[in-house]
Chain A
Amino acid sequence: MPKLTIDGKQVEVQAGATIIQAAEKLGIEIPRYCYHPALPVSGNCRICMVEVEKQPKLQIACYTKATEGMTVKTNSPKVLETRKTVLEFLLVNHPVDCPVCDQAGECKLQDYYMEHGKYSSRLVDVKVKKEKKAFSIGPHVMLDQERCILCTRCVRFSDTITKTSELGVFERGDHSQLDVYPGKQVDNKYSGNVVDICPVGALTDKDFRFKCRVWYLEKTKSVCPGCSMGCNITVEWDKSRPHQLKNGRVMRLKPRLNPDVNEYWMCDEGRYNYHFIDENRIEHPQINDQLVSWPKAIGEIAQEVKALKDAGRLDRIGVLASAQLTNEDLYVVRKLFKENLNGAQVDFRMPQVPGFRDDFLMRGDKNPNTVGALTILGSSDDAQTIVEKAKNGDIDLLYVFGHDLVKFFGKDTVEQISRKVKLFVFQGSNINETCRYSHLILPSSVYAEKDGTFANCQQRVQRILPAFSPLGESKGDWEIVSSLAQELGISIAYKDSQAVFNDIAAAIGAFGEMSYETIGDQGLMFKEINREYGKYFY
């Protein structure tokens, strides 16, 4: 464990750590372009050079190992002067077209120029022109060769992370250019990540281009709901200028570092899966295509429940909950339907065909909270039996959470259910085929509007935070269910999601002693891993 001194401060690091890592431990950020902690070191940008005692030349901090007794200066006059000259070289043939560049505002050339550059240009000659500007190199990625500083982060990403090797640096000297190999496109399941790691505006995202200046973006920590991996993300949104995106609020999703889950990455499937947040939403309660008030809609359901309760036929209630719901939602569903309306049939497992999976981040189970649902609701009832009963007229109240039953069971079955069931409730965020056949529709909020937790396939409980308030009249799923409980005279009242979670932590062993504070923004593993759950993950 070598001890070294950086800018007069002592630090002890793991053997093999580099100066840039040792400095990070002290909170000193050495500038970097080519260095990325998840990629092999390339050492080409030269911006991270620091002074190491007894070394005549400056050393690159990204590659030089920290050794015992080493003395490093990251801000000596020589270091600062060299940083400035490296920036000058990086910018000498750069088009400086920031006004039309999407990266502006989060560009490391801009940032370091303001911090370490601030020189007047000495260039007299014409800049080197490169061929490809605003050039598509894949379904999601645009290339601008002139803006590229040839740090090769994207090349190393495609060589070592996706191992698809679509990108390379061609030609030599100041005519070097980043490009795809002949006949190749950056068309892999993780292509959006090259835009994230590009420190400049060379690689931009087709989905985000020209939509929003980054300094307008608000950022909310969340978890991708696209599969059971639960990659940590940031929801980046802008509510102030709705004309930008047909009233859309979410501008993009970005991966958020979690070394135990997704590291720095997320898949394209998850990254571009946000349009549903603002499109095709259910905004108001409806009864048979008529807009109604919340009390009216809830009252209607309560009446049916009461009738069944009075008749002693709670078994004629079928609830199809969902692994898209948060633990808080599921827990309130459990309290009402499993604990208070004992006899109601409750399950969440649909006959789903596994989606695409790989051995990196993508999981075949496209639900974010299967582990939470299994833990909270258990698996004693069976969704397919409930559907079968509904079809045969053995269910009077069918309460569906978001599922498109048409997709799973076919139009004919759902049509028949619609005829046989007395009250067919659909509670969800987005319109689907099943809505047409339901009698009563309740608008619920999407994950980006919710405060809550998901448990991923590793059995890690992770927090999602609300980016903005629910659209229209929609409400959180647990809030809707608890207002139904109140209508029934059953006391399930919580101040907020945290209060629900505290109850979960007290009642269910796997969540034992967890709280929103201890979960933090990196998640917390179940106290005991349930090996039985393995069979649900593909």
Chain B
Amino acid sequence: MEKVVTRNFGTPNSQLLEVYVQNRGYEAARKALTEMSTVDVIEEIKKSNLRGLGGAGFPTGTKWSFISTTTMKAKYLVINGDEGEPGTFKDKYILEQDPHALIEGILITCYAIGSHKAYVYIRGEYLKAIAVLQGAIDEAYKAGYLGEGIMGTTFDLDIVVHQGAGAYICGEETALLESLEGKKGFPRLKPPFPAVVGLFGCPTVINNVETASCIAPIILKGAEWYAKLGSEKNGGNRLFCVSGHVNKPGVYELPNGTTLREIIYEHAGGILEGRKLKAIIPGGISAPLLTPEQIDVKMDFDSLRAIGTMAGSGGIIVMDETTDMVWAAMVAARFFAHESCGQCSPCREGSGWIYRTIRRIYEGHGRMVDLQNLPGIINNVGGNTICAFGDAVTMSIGSYVSKFRSEFENKVKESSYAQTNH
């Protein structure tokens, strides 16, 4: 199988410019800047069926084409490297192992959309990634791949690295823009979408690190080559981050549409100590749980949506038979309660209420009335908020309660408070 994003992973000093250029580095950028029109580049990306790999799966070329070509305003590219979704750690590897692939992707993207300034917003804890990327950017400036008059053309580009300050919500693209502008990370009301009113009020494209790292290979080898790697409407490969009760946790680059069974049992080496599988989070903590009978699903955006979950960020968390699902639900609920930005009332108040109720059940103080109320309270958050965080609370926590209800019931039956209502 042909590697795309991880092609340079494992090469000694892969983060250095001289190593990157040995493997056809910056050839794609030269091709785009000197041989292709901006329209050609966008069309090529559209044809490749590349979809946003941050989690939403929006077609990348289409997103670029929303940027006005006639506006007098500045245009920006913002790279989302906040990677806060629990179970997800792919962007960290890209930033540390192949920063020039990202820089080259940024260069081509900015050329296509007519932007001269790109921001890379990186999760605050990723200190090494930030240092490596900044080193690579400095090298690229020296070599003339960034700055003024890139590769002898009239195209100029600056890249700024911005370190996040620790809020999960800043991975939501409009909260990220607020944060980048120096404000509190609150998601914005939409419309207008960032393509119209984005960073500092200007048209902005926001792409994930992995998405941007796919750009150079697509330009170099062609859209058809890339599209064929994946499934019908979902071109290319994808980085799957496998963690939890598996023998070989890690980042795996596999074609979109690989089955979950293959990922768990072939690539990640199966379940620890040969135990039985109990539940799987297929796309980061926001994605609803899957149960063992569902693991023949193809891991692409559309197939996962069809069975009521989502591909999300590609973070696969595997839980075996030893997992207490009430505990797992509590951990997830605690995360949401901690990370809700607090802007919309249903999410702000609901996430904490849900967490405290599940914690109480887990700690043996549950009431039967909790089991009656919990699904409704969980359900009342989703669909009623500015951003998708509220939906994630409902979808994710709701799946623990609905799919593993008997475990919740057993916990409550053991509780001495079971029959009280207050």
Residues of A within 8 A of B (CB): 41, 43-47, 49, 57-58, 63, 82, 85-86, 88-90, 92-93, 122-125, 128, 149-150, 168-169, 171-176
Q: Which of B341, B344, B373, B422 makes the CB contact (< 8 A) with A172?
A: B341
B385 at the interface (CB under 8 A from A): yes
Q: With a CB–CB cut-off of 8 A, which chain B residues contact A49?
A: 384
A44–B352 touching, CB < 8 Å:
no
Known: A44-B344, A86-B345, A173-B339. 9 other contacts (CB 8 A): A57-B384, A124-B357, A124-B360, A169-B342, A171-B342, A172-B338, A173-B348, A174-B351, A176-B348
Measured in the bound complex, the distance between the Cα atoms of B341 and A47 in whole Å is 18
A173–B352 touching, CB < 8 Å:
yes
Measured in the bound complex, the distance between the Cα atoms of B385 and A86 in whole Å is 10
Closest to B381 in A: A89
Q: In the complex, which of the residues B167, B352, B367 has the most CB atoms of chain A within 10 Å of its own CB atom?
A: B352
Known contacts A89-B345, A89-B380, A93-B349: A125-B184 contact under CB 8 Å: no
B352–A124 touching, CB < 8 Å:
no
How many residues on the B side are at the interface (Cβ–Cβ under 8 A)?
34
B370 at the interface (CB under 8 A from A): yes
A174–B360 touching, CB < 8 Å:
no
Measured in the bound complex, the distance between the Cα atoms of B186 and A172 in whole Å is 10
Closest to A173 in B: B340
Restricting to B345-380, which residues have a CB under 8 Å from any CB of A?
345-346, 348-353, 356-357, 360, 367, 369-370, 373, 377, 380
B37 at the interface (CB under 8 A from A): no
Q: With a CB–CB cut-off of 8 A, which chain A residues contact B352?
A: 93, 128, 173-174
B189–A174 touching, CB < 8 Å:
no
Chain B interface SS verdict (over half): helix
Q: With a CB–CB cut-off of 8 A, which chain B residues contact A41?
A: 189
Q: With a CB–CB cut-off of 8 A, which chain B residues contact A89?
A: 345-346, 348-350, 353, 380
Rank and list the top 10 A-B pairs by shortest CB-CB distance, nearest first: A176-B342, A174-B352, A85-B380, A89-B349, A173-B340, A125-B356, A43-B189, A44-B343, A92-B349, A89-B346
Q: With a CB–CB cut-off of 8 A, which chain A residues contact B189?
A: 41, 43, 63
Smallest Cβ distance from B112 to chain A, in angstroms? 31
B342–A122 touching, CB < 8 Å:
no
A125–B349 touching, CB < 8 Å:
no
Q: With a CB–CB cut-off of 8 A, which chain B residues contact A122?
A: 369, 373, 377
Measured in the bound complex, the distance between the Cα atoms of B373 and A93 in whole Å is 17
B345–A149 touching, CB < 8 Å:
yes
Q: Which of B337, B380, B384, B385 makes the CB contact (< 8 A) with A173?
A: B337
Known contacts A44-B343, A124-B367: A174-B384 contact under CB 8 Å: no
Measured in the bound complex, the distance between the Cα atoms of B380 and A47 in whole Å is 13
Q: Which of B341, B357, B383 makes the CB contact (< 8 A) with A125?
A: B357
A-B interface contact total, Cβ < 8 Å: 95
Smallest Cβ distance from A96 to chain B, in angstroms? 14
Q: In the complex, which of the residues B356, B367, B373 has the most CB atoms of chain A within 10 Å of its own CB atom?
A: B356
Known contacts A174-B348, A174-B352: A58-B384 contact under CB 8 Å: yes
B357–A46 touching, CB < 8 Å:
no
B140 at the interface (CB under 8 A from A): no
Known contacts A89-B349, A89-B350, A176-B348: A150-B342 contact under CB 8 Å: yes
Known contacts A86-B346, A173-B348: A125-B353 contact under CB 8 Å: yes
B167–A44 touching, CB < 8 Å:
no
Q: Could you name 15 residue pairs across A and B whose Cβ atoms are closer than 8 Å?
A: A44-B343, A45-B345, A46-B345, A47-B345, A82-B384, A85-B346, A85-B384, A89-B380, A124-B360, A124-B370, A171-B342, A172-B169, A173-B337, A173-B339, A174-B337
Q: With a CB–CB cut-off of 8 A, which chain A residues contact B184?
A: 168-169
Smallest Cβ distance from B395 to chain A, in angstroms? 14
A173–B341 touching, CB < 8 Å:
yes
B392 at the interface (CB under 8 A from A): no
B220 at the interface (CB under 8 A from A): no
Measured in the bound complex, the distance between the Cα atoms of B360 and A525 in whole Å is 66
B351–A46 touching, CB < 8 Å:
no
Residues of B within 8 A of A (CB): 167, 169, 184, 189, 337-346, 348-353, 356-357, 360, 367, 369-370, 373, 377, 380, 383-386, 422
Measured in the bound complex, the distance between the Cα atoms of B341 and A175 in whole Å is 10
Q: With a CB–CB cut-off of 8 A, which chain B residues contact A175?
A: 342
Closest to B342 in A: A176
Closest to B350 in A: A89
Smallest Cβ distance from B60 to chain A, in angstroms? 25
Q: With a CB–CB cut-off of 8 A, which chain A residues contact B353?
A: 89, 92, 123, 125, 174
Q: With a CB–CB cut-off of 8 A, which chain B residues contact A90?
A: 345, 349
Q: With a CB–CB cut-off of 8 A, which chain B residues contact A58?
A: 383-384
A86–B342 touching, CB < 8 Å:
no
Measured in the bound complex, the distance between the Cα atoms of B345 and A443 in whole Å is 55
Smallest Cβ distance from A468 to chain B, in angstroms? 42
Measured in the bound complex, the distance between the Cα atoms of B421 and A122 in whole Å is 9
Measured in the bound complex, the distance between the Cα atoms of B422 and A63 in whole Å is 39
Q: With a CB–CB cut-off of 8 A, which chain B residues contact A86?
A: 345-346, 384
Q: With a CB–CB cut-off of 8 A, which chain A residues contact B422?
A: 124
Closest to B377 in A: A122
Measured in the bound complex, the distance between the Cα atoms of B190 and A41 in whole Å is 12
Smallest Cβ distance from A201 to chain B, in angstroms? 17
Smallest Cβ distance from B186 to chain A, in angstroms? 8
Smallest Cβ distance from A518 to chain B, in angstroms? 42
B346–A46 touching, CB < 8 Å:
yes
Q: Which of A45, A93, A172 makes the CB contact (< 8 A) with B340?
A: A172
Measured in the bound complex, the distance between the Cα atoms of B386 and A489 in whole Å is 75
Q: With a CB–CB cut-off of 8 A, which chain B residues contact A169?
A: 184, 342
Measured in the bound complex, the distance between the Cα atoms of B167 and A149 in whole Å is 22
B342–A46 touching, CB < 8 Å:
no
Closest to B169 in A: A172
B386–A44 touching, CB < 8 Å:
yes
Q: With a CB–CB cut-off of 8 A, which chain B residues contact A44?
A: 343-345, 386
Q: With a CB–CB cut-off of 8 A, which chain B residues contact A176?
A: 342, 348
Measured in the bound complex, the distance between the Cα atoms of B338 and A258 in whole Å is 44
Smallest Cβ distance from B15 to chain A, in angstroms? 34
Measured in the bound complex, the distance between the Cα atoms of B409 and A134 in whole Å is 43
Q: With a CB–CB cut-off of 8 A, which chain A residues contact B356?
A: 125
A173–B351 touching, CB < 8 Å:
yes
Smallest Cβ distance from A230 to chain B, in angstroms? 37
Measured in the bound complex, the distance between the Cα atoms of B377 and A122 in whole Å is 10
Q: With a CB–CB cut-off of 8 A, which chain A residues contact B337?
A: 173-174
Measured in the bound complex, the distance between the Cα atoms of B348 and A175 in whole Å is 9
Smallest Cβ distance from B114 to chain A, in angstroms? 29
Measured in the bound complex, the distance between the Cα atoms of B252 and A63 in whole Å is 43
Measured in the bound complex, the distance between the Cα atoms of B31 and A527 in whole Å is 73
Q: With a CB–CB cut-off of 8 A, which chain A residues contact B350?
A: 89
Measured in the bound complex, the distance between the Cα atoms of B43 and A58 in whole Å is 36
A150–B346 touching, CB < 8 Å:
no
Measured in the bound complex, the distance between the Cα atoms of B341 and A171 in whole Å is 8
Closest to A168 in B: B184
Measured in the bound complex, the distance between the Cα atoms of B349 and A45 in whole Å is 11
Measured in the bound complex, the distance between the Cα atoms of B186 and A171 in whole Å is 12
Q: With a CB–CB cut-off of 8 A, which chain A residues contact B341?
A: 172-173
